[in-house]
Amino acid sequence: MKVATGSGDGGRTSLFSGERVLKDDERLEASGDVDELNAVIGGLIAALPPEAASCAPELRTVQSDLFPIGAWLSADGSAPSAALLPPLDPEGTARLERAIGRMEAALPELRSFLLPGGCPAAAWAHLARTVCRRAERRLVRLGRGSPGEAPAWRREALRYLNRLSDYFFVLARTLNRVAGVEETPWRREA
Amino acid sequence: MAPGSLNAPAPPIAGRQTLRLLARRSLSPEVFELDLERPPGFRFLPGQRLRIREGGVERDYTIASGPGEGVLRILVRRVPGGSISPFLCEAPPGTAIAASGPHGYFVFAPAPRTPVFAATGVGIAPFRSMAASGVRGFVLFHGAGRAGGLFYREFLEPRAARYRGCLSRQAQPLPAGTRPGRVTDALREELAEGDYDFYLCGRGEMIAEALQVIDARFPRARVFTEPFS
């Protein structure tokens, strides 16, 4: 697959459903956020300490989950090509919920807001959480322009991204615990 | 123009198959047409590809036959020193070929707009498949160096609303129905104002140039692309 074709040099690109759009089109902004999230997860995996290396397969599964979401964001559901896209599997959201429950069971109760940070991997997890929230907001904004019930893929993508940002929050706490780094609670006066 | 089969639900990914090579015909000194056994139940949409694996290397070939035909037909350009094409261009009939599919999303989207197909070389394969499935009323700009490279012209021209061969290296006089130059020249000079869906299949350079023309002349068009290297 050739990467540099030069076909987007004029600032336009094709959506999956064929429309030629400017590269600041809101659907591209949304799929760009999902792409950015995926790249941040790559940074998180690279920053995992050896004692948390077991998180890597789960995070790679999340990276794979994000690809079809990006494709759906770029597709018009009426296009025949969209019928070839894999449906978003609710099992992905369920898997995140199980992981959140598993990690939370080993964490102390949360009693205040936390300052994002800690060990490098936890800092990456917080960054992933915030990019994930941005992708979620962008998806919500996209839905505003579409009257009627949201298509199944968008409903599932919203559930997934909502759960995924929670997952990153709990993962950040877990990574700090594993690394022996104390969490920093927010205080009104620093 | 809009056969019902194109609106069918997504076909299953058939996974890995071993397909028997049934026949091979030479279409030009470098391009061969291969007929492969079609496994029972193998479904695809016109424009989708087979992925062939040989010696640990995989290459995709668009299916040129229609969904209603009994074989899977592909076009192979022989690349000297290539990883797979020399094998495909020399394997005797009966050879078992590892393949998976169908792959890809370059499928026909029925619409009120006129479909414009632009293809060069073996990039004509998906359009042969689409026409075989019943797609009609399309404009086809068919590019090749010389007239002998306009594969499937006899099949496609009667099914097109308008056919134009674009020959970049053909000596004068040109055969009827052709013009000198490339498909991008035809897109630039021969297509009237209108609403179109463009389908482009060919080398990345052709597609990049075609997109520049389309963006400049038809900014509201839909464009579907299938580049190959």
pLDDT of residue A123: 98
Site from B222, B225, B226, B229 to mutate, A interface, most A CB atoms within 10 angstroms: B222
In CATH terms, the fold of domain B106-228 is Rossmann fold (3.40.50)
For chain B, give the percent of residues with pLDDT over 90: 80
Mean pLDDT value across chain B: 90
Are A93 and A62 in contact by the 8 Å Cβ rule? The answer is no
Domain count within chain A? 1
In a domain, A126, yes or no: yes
pLDDT of residue B8: 40
In this complex, the residue of A6, A20, A79 whose CB is nearest that of residue B215 is: A20
Distance CA A29, CA A138 (A): 8
Q: CATH number, domain at A116?
A: 1.20.1200.10
Q: Which two tokens stand for residue B59?
A: 């290459």
pLDDT band per the 50, 70, 90 thresholds, residue A77: low
pLDDT band per the 50, 70, 90 thresholds, residue A23: confident
Which region among B4-13, B106-115, B155-164 has the lowest average model confidence (pLDDT)?
Answer: B4-13
Q: Is the pLDDT of residue A19 over 50?
A: yes
Which residues of A are less than 8 Å from B7 in CB distance? 80
B25-35 pLDDT, tens digit each: 999 999 999 99
Phi, psi values for residue B117, rounded to 5°: -100, 135
CATH number among 2.40.30.10, 3.90.1150.10, 3.40.50.300, 1.10.645.10, domain B8-103: 2.40.30.10
Size (chain A), residues: 190
B106-228 and B8-103 share a CATH fold? no
Q: Is the sign of the CA dihedral B98, B103, B106, B112 positive or negative?
A: positive
Using a cut of 0.90, tell me whether the model's pTM lies above it: no
pLDDT band per the 50, 70, 90 thresholds, residue A20: confident
| Domain segments of chain B as ranges | 8-103, 106-228
Mean pLDDT value across chain A: 90
Distance CA B104, CA B226 (A): 9
Are B48 and B104 in contact by the 8 Å Cβ rule? The answer is yes
Average of per-residue pLDDT across A120-132: 98
A80 lies within 8 A of chain B by CB: yes
In a domain, A143, yes or no: yes
Name the residue range of residue A154's domain. 25-179
Between positions 178 and 197 of B, the ones with CB within 8 A of A are 197
pLDDT of residue B1: 30
Are A164 and A98 in contact by the 8 Å Cβ rule? The answer is no
pLDDT band per the 50, 70, 90 thresholds, residue B198: very high
Q: Is the pLDDT of residue B120 over 70?
A: yes
Which residues of B are less than 8 Å from A84 in CB distance? 10, 45, 105, 107
**Distance of residue B172 Cα from the nearest chain A Cα, in angstroms:** 32
A154-170 pLDDT, tens digit each: 999 999 999 999 999 99
Q: Is the pLDDT of residue B2 over 60?
A: no
Report ipTM (2 d.p.): 0.73
* Interchain pair B207, A5: CB under 8 A: yes
Are B126 and B61 in contact by the 8 Å Cβ rule? The answer is no
Distance CA B166, CA B181 (A): 6
Helix/strand/coil (H/E/C) assignment for every residue in chain B: CCCHHHHCCCCCCCCEEEEEEEEEEECCCCEEEEEEECCCCCCCCCCCEEEEEECCEEEEEEECCCCCCCEEEEEEECCCCCCCHHHHHHCCCCCEEEEEEEECCCCCCCCCCEEEEEEEHHHHHHHHHHHHCCCCCCEEEEEECCHHHCCCHHHHHHHCCEEEEEECCCCCCCCCCEEECCHHHHHHHCCCCCCEEEEEEEEHHHHHHHHHHHHHHCCCCEEEEEEEC
Site from A21, A76, A81 to mutate, B interface, most B CB atoms within 10 angstroms: A81
A146 lies within 8 A of chain B by CB: no
pLDDT of residue B49: 94
In a domain, A185, yes or no: no
Which residues of B are less than 8 Å from A85 in CB distance? 10, 105
Which residues of B are less than 8 Å from A6 in CB distance? 204-205, 208
In a domain, A50, yes or no: yes
pLDDT of residue A3: 56
pLDDT of residue A21: 84
Which residues of B are less than 8 Å from A7 in CB distance? 204, 207-208, 211, 225
pLDDT of residue A14: 81
B222 lies within 8 A of chain A by CB: yes
